[in-house]
Chains A and B, each alone.
Chain A
């Protein structure tokens, strides 16, 4: 199946600092992809590159088979793009902005737009700049939906939205996806919203390390084991980096006053053995149940 988005050996830097080096992934049609990562890993940069607002230092990105920095108008007509912060022309009213976008998109359906904004209970003459962030997000999403794009790119849709509007947003998304053969590629900070929503999660780390998995799989495979500090007396001289080096299966370690939390995709037995090799009593490891958010923070680190 031809990928909707294909990223090949992508590198980009700001000044001398590389955001990615040799980033590779593909997105197939009909699925929801969540690009997850901490602030500053380059999620928005990636969206900008995909939409041609940035040209990468090297590598190639294609969207619908076209180079992302030279997307034809026809390709752009198939893409609904939500800019970070629900960017909109705020000097326009609900009606005016619909009238502005409509002529550009052949499949434009104003009924979808008005159905969505109707929920806000605002008059069509209401100005966008006089709306709350949540209300604005509904208008912007309405514009994207009315466009009926094949690919939706949502850059940090959750920013500034309270739980109610986030839920509303996701509900609308589900309705949109129900029409079939639609692809969504989104970035978000709110990991719990992604649960039961995204088909595939792309974890992006600083430096461009990338892991693609389903969230269910991630939750199942990723574990946290707690090591009490009192039992760790013999390794009191060992710091975090030395521990990570001694136990390469560890993804992350969070150091607390009286315990260390060790995060890994590896079964507990393998970890115990590795710890024993460093003279740490691995049998004292306690399995800690993780929510998706805990697992995400454990995977990406807290800072």
Chain B
């Protein structure tokens, strides 16, 4: 049954998902070109000093890409479900609604994580071409909270899109924005390292919280 839902979601988001993947590939290629250019314009040791000592971020473009991807994946996944309230079709299936909701989230998060991991892998690869492993480590530690922001944005959008009441949709958008904002502070590269584990807790909570709008959508009343 999980497989069936995965398949359905795959059919739904493969088209726009491919576009997002293509955009990610383009961005990574641009990142490679931009990083390479840094080394063409200056001596490598000076670039190392700027990046590794002064904290210049050579991949700043990636900061909002996960955020956008999370929002887009949630929209691709849940707007068609909300259009004409088609989500009722899935919620009428003879499985608990929580199962349906969590499986949908699992699909979205799997797709998102695959993209995010590809981004991180690409970033690591590009950084590794020009910097030692310390550079790779600090780059990944810098980009990881941005990746978590994307997951937060995905879950926040799911929270808002699945909620049937417009006032609560707005509240859920605020919650999503609030959680997402936690991961996007302008701080020194790698500064999030000690609290990354702790910051995964709000994402776990959001995943469970998405069940509430689903139940509200299913029954329109929860109590």
Contacts and interface: CB of A to CB of B under 8 A. Distances in A.
Given A87-B84, A87-B89, A105 B94 contact: yes
B80 interface: yes
B219 interface: yes
A51 B92 contact: yes
Given A53-B218, A53-B220, A55-B220, A76 B7 contact: no
Contacts of A105: 94
Nearest to A73: B94
B58 interface: no
A89 B94 contact: no
Interface string A92-129: 10001001111111000000000000000000000000
Interface in A30-75: 51-55, 69, 73-74
Interface string B84-126: 1110110111111000000000000000000000000000000
A88 interface: yes
B168 to A, nearest CB: 16
A88 B89 contact: yes
13 contacts: A53-B88, A53-B220, A54-B221, A55-B221, A73-B95, A79-B92, A87-B88, A89-B12, A100-B7, A100-B8, A101-B93, A102-B4, A104-B1
Given A88-B89, A91-B80, A104-B94, 11 more contacts: A53-B88, A55-B221, A87-B88, A89-B8, A89-B12, A91-B12, A96-B7, A96-B11, A99-B4, A104-B93, A105-B94
Interface of A: 51-55, 69, 73-74, 76-77, 79, 81, 83, 85, 87-89, 91-92, 96, 99-105
Interface of B: 1, 3-4, 7-8, 11-12, 80, 84-86, 88-89, 91-96, 218-221
Closest CB pairs A-B (n = 5):
A77-B94, A73-B94, A55-B221, A76-B94, A103-B4
